[in-house]
Amino acid sequence: MKKRLLSLCLVGVLCFTLTGCGNTDFSTAEFNGETISLGESKEDVQDKFGEFYDKEYDDISNDKNGSVNLEISDDNKVMSISGFDDVTIGSITIGDTLEDTANALGIETKDIGNDTKKLFLFDEDDHMFRSLTTEIPDYYDRDGDGYFKDTRENFGYLNEIIECYPEINDTFKNSKYALVVDIEDGKVLSLSVIDVPSVLNGSGQGFFW
C-alpha cells in the first residue's frame, strides 16, 4: 500500500513539473485594453480597434502602447499575432522575467534559456507538448539552390520551420497553435502566437518577429 501511495505521489510531481498548475490559453493576446484571438475575423478586429488599425499592413498601433502586427489568412481571419511592445499573450507579458515565463509555461528556466528564441507547440487542450529552437541550422537551404547563404540567425516564419523538420510533421499536425517567446538578458523581448492548422493548409506563412 505504501509503495502504491509513493508511486501515485511521484506521478503527481512529474505531471506538475511537465504541465504546471493548469492549462493557459495562449491563443489570445491583449493589447490597448482589447483582446485579439486566433481565428477572429479581420472585420471584428477592425471594429474593436477602429482608427488604430492599419488596413494596409494589418498593424494595430498607438503612441501610448506601441504596436502589434497581425497576419491575416486567405479567409480573412487572424492567423498570427506578434508584438514587441505592451502586449500580453496568455499569461506572458513583454518584459516578464525568465522565471515568470517558465512558471507561466509550467517548465523550468533551463528549458528556455537566458538569451534565446523558442517555439512552443500546444494541443487542442492548451497543453504545451513540445518546444523547438527557431535558430536556423547550417544545413537549411532557404532558396533550394544548393547554396547555403541564409544570413538570418532565426527563422521568421512557421512554414520554414515545418519545412526544415519534416521528420516531425505529425507533431505539427497535432498542434493547435504555436507560441514564440524571445528572451533577451533574462526578459521577454517579443511574443508571437500562430495558428498552426492555417499554416499547414497554406493559408499563410505563420509570421513571427
Mean pLDDT, residues 86-95 taken together: 97
- pLDDT(10) > 60: no
- pLDDT(139) > 50: yes
Please name which of 201, 200, 183 lies closest in space to residue 191, comparing C-alpha atoms: 183
pLDDT per residue as tens digits for the range 98-107: 999 999 999 9
pLDDT per residue as tens digits for the range 40-88: 999 999 999 999 999 999 999 998 889 999 999 999 999 999 999 999 9
pTM of the model: 0.86
Q: Give the pairing of strands 59-62 and 66-72.
A: antiparallel
- pLDDT(130) > 80: yes
Provide the pLDDT for residue 11: 34
- pLDDT(14) > 70: no
All residues at 6 or more sequence positions from 166 whose CB lies less than 8 Å from its CB, including other chains? none
